[in-house]
Amino acid sequence: MLEGNRVSRISVRGFAVASATAVTAVGSVVGVASGSTAQPSNDAEATASDSTLLADIPAGQQAQVQTASLTQQADAQAIAADASAKKDAEEAARKQAAEDAVAKQQAAEKAAEKAEKEAKERKAAQEAASRSATRDASSFSVQSSYTVAQIQAMARQMVPSGQFQCFSNIVDHESSWNYKAVNASSGAYGLFQALPGSKMSSVGSDWQTNPATQIKWGLNYMDSRYGSPCEAWSFWQQNNWY
């Protein structure tokens, strides 16, 4: 062998120790990345002594072996870094998804509250407008007697249009639109069978003879006790009284 290509056993042995140390380090990194708990051997000298065949490897090939060892180290480190980055990305995605879900829920709740508030405001405005368009009991001329059709015509002008049918249903069941109806057993009186009938005097002293006064009292009673004639009618249907 030529002198230029000859490698001394001391140089080879030193390289073998370095290579064995590098391979051992690579094994440690790969073990950590794969979750292995095995402990690497620290006896680099023993490994180097078993590698005396490297003495016959030319210097150029020794460099290739060393390069391969460093490449293995880099690959193992890259694998570990990729696994860590993937875990961090998954955790960040889960956190962002949870935050997005909470934000969407809060937005939906706010939208529902806003819609409910607007609906109540529209209903209140409609009812106020409807009431402002109705006539008061005092605006009707007093008569000695009234037909059912006349009484119903009064009610249509005094009760908000959206509430009239419910109002009419109650009067139908209570008195059949007879403003002088009297319950023989209880003494309940008038269109709404007020008990006692004298409570209708709170809106007019002519409560016994004027159906407009009775209509005004009945409407006030339904609004104050139930909120509206339709709410009063719903209660009546469940209980047969209001």
Residue 143's pLDDT is what?
A: 92
| CB atoms inside a 10 Å sphere around CB 66 | 14
Question: What is this structure's pTM?
Answer: 0.47
Fold of 134-239: Lysozyme (1.10.530)
Query: pLDDT for 182-215, tens place per residue?
Result: 999 999 999 999 999 999 999 999 999 999 999 9
CA dist list (Å): 74 to 39, 62, 87? 20, 19, 20
Query: pLDDT for 102-158, tens place per residue?
Result: 888 888 888 888 888 877 766 665 555 445 446 787 778 889 999 999 999 999 999
Nearest 5°: the CA angle 196, 200, 201 is: 110
The encoded tokens of residue 179 equal 């403003």
Residue span(s) of the chain under CATH 1.10.530 come to 134-239
- Supply the DSSP symbol for 15: H
Query: pLDDT for 50-108, tens place per residue?
Result: 444 555 566 667 677 777 788 888 888 889 888 888 888 888 888 898 888 888 888 88
Residue 94's pLDDT is what?
A: 86
Nearest 5°: the CA angle 24, 30, 33 is: 145
What span, in angstroms and rounded, lies between the C-alpha atoms of 154 and 139? 10
